[in-house]
Amino acid sequence: MVMDVLMSRLELVVAVGDRRTLLRVPVALAPEPGGPDRIGACSPAAEAQGVQPGIPLAEALARCPQLVLVPPDPVAVDRSWEALLIALEGIGAAPEPLAPGEACFEIAGLRRLYRGLDGVIAAVRRAVGWPGLRIGLGPVRFCAQAAARRAGPRRANHVHGQTELAALPVELLLCRDRTERLPAPLRRLGLTTLGDLVRVGRGPLGERFGTSGILAFDLASGLDTPLTPRVAGSELRERFELPESLSGQLLDRVLGLLLDRLLARPEREGRTLRTVVLEAALVEGGTWRTRVVLREATADRERLHLALAPHLGQLTAPAQTLGLFAETFGGPPSQALPLLEDGEERRKARLREGLRQVSAGSGEHALLRVVEVDPASRLPERRMALAPREI
Amino acid sequence: MSRTAPRRLAMPIPATVQAEHSGYPRVVDGALVEAVRESWLVEDRWWSPAPVRRRYWEVVTRGGHNLVLFRDLRTGAWYRQAAMS
């Protein structure tokens, strides 16, 4: 059985900080610096006035003129979320983070450890310590997600499968990136519940909406992919507290200093950097964060500097602190050059490099390859399969 | 760490088909069949506990789509399938 833990409005609660009374009035997250001009998570009071997360700022203010905007704090959200995931791992769970504030994990092993389901729920609530925590349970991830969205803050909710999903609204598809655009067109077509989707059938949904439609049908039928728990990695993070708020060329120098420190860390063990996160605390309040996937994994200081420095231009205010965080790594850099260049080998190396980039940018499960299983079979479904691509 | 399990390609997709008494498909998922290009019988895995008996049809719909569908002769259910030759 899968458990889904949901901390709704995590980004807003973290951004509000100690000013908890703000959550009782219409309040929303301001658009991120350098990002689209749309608001983020909003309080229940704001939602009651017709404000929805993701709508343009001007529209939000037109619907609710007294709306209070707080600057987003992605760095603090990241830190809080990491602490919550570590707390879950501390009780023996192997969580799959779905979004900041939501994670799923398998509880078969935990039930034995905590003597039943009630023991597991109590252990999760103790570990997370989040007052409005919602807990959902189901045979697969989507059922658990649906259950968590209908759970109260004190009682866990169960959704056992397709029969219970059938009566639930299509808006539950918003909880997946690949199906989040479907609820609006489905409603226009008169399909309001997940049961309506199942009745329409997999073929027509696939024809109208492509792979998203097929996924929506599978989810509505109570089917989902297996969980992929996160891999605990060694953290490589450098932060520099600036004596005074800086911007422009001076900040560029600080970036160089951070790179020197990061590359000198012994934990790097000679590995190249694949994905780097640059973050800053702004003098006007709030934080800024950007994730840079390098075209080629490298440990060369100059190349890293060239790739990262242009992003400092997105800062909307001088920074008080600047941080650098290595998220994923490439292999160790090759030391020796071959005497004779082999064109085919070089092409294969480039292809492998490209695949690693795709894997770092889109997740390791994005890479699949077609393998022949029984190519001479008269049954088309027995001929080929999609299998994970090892790099 | 769990990995994505291998997934078969060209799995049959259940289809809603209106057919004549002779088995000739007329309407596939709401689309009228304009012409039948080919039809063939597949009998396979008769040695196993799950033998396969299918009547395949390759049809062209009025909208111009080329579809491959089959009727499971054991259950009577209709399916669409991607053609992988």
pLDDT digits (tens, 9 = 90+) for B6-39: 788 899 999 999 999 888 999 999 999 999 999 9
B25-28/B17-19 β-pairing: antiparallel
Q: Which phi and psi (to 5°) does residue A328 adopt?
A: -130, 155
Per the CB < 8 Å rule, is B29 touching A207?
Answer: yes
Interface test with B, best of A141, A218, A221, A379 (most B CBs within 10 A): A379
Arithmetic mean of pLDDT, A344-372: 82
What are the chain B neighbours of A379 within 8 Å (beta carbons)? 42, 44-45, 52
How many Cβ pairs closer than 8 A exist between chain A and B?
A: 71
> Which residue has better confidence, A286 or A122?
A122
| Percent of chain B whose predicted confidence (pLDDT) is above 70 | 92
Closest CA to A325 of A75, A59, A86, A118: A75
pTM of full prediction above 0.80: no
pLDDT band for position B56 (cuts 50, 70, 90): very high
Range with the largest mean pLDDT of A103-117, B4-18, B33-47: B33-47
Chain A nearest CA to B52, separation (Å): 9
Residue among A377, A378, A386 minimizing CB distance to B7: A386
pLDDT band for position A130 (cuts 50, 70, 90): confident
CA B62-B68-B71 angle, to 5 degrees, is: 110
- Token pair for residue A224? 């989902």
pLDDT band for position B2 (cuts 50, 70, 90): very low
Arithmetic mean of pLDDT, A216-227: 88
* Alpha-carbon dihedral A179, A181, A183, A189, rounded to 10 degrees: -110
Arithmetic mean of pLDDT, A48-53: 85
Per the CB < 8 Å rule, is B14 touching A203?
Answer: yes
Interface test with A, best of B1, B3, B4, B29 (most A CBs within 10 A): B4
Give CA separation, B72 vs A54, A373, A382, B15, B76, in Å.
47, 23, 16, 11, 5
Which residues from B are below 8 Å from A when comparing CB atoms?
Answer: 1-16, 29-30, 42, 44-45, 52, 80-84
Run of H or E residues at A137: strand A134-138
In the predicted structure, residue B58 carries a pLDDT above the cut 90: yes
Please tell me the predicted confidence (pLDDT) of residue A55: 85
What are the chain A neighbours of B12 within 8 Å (beta carbons)? 381
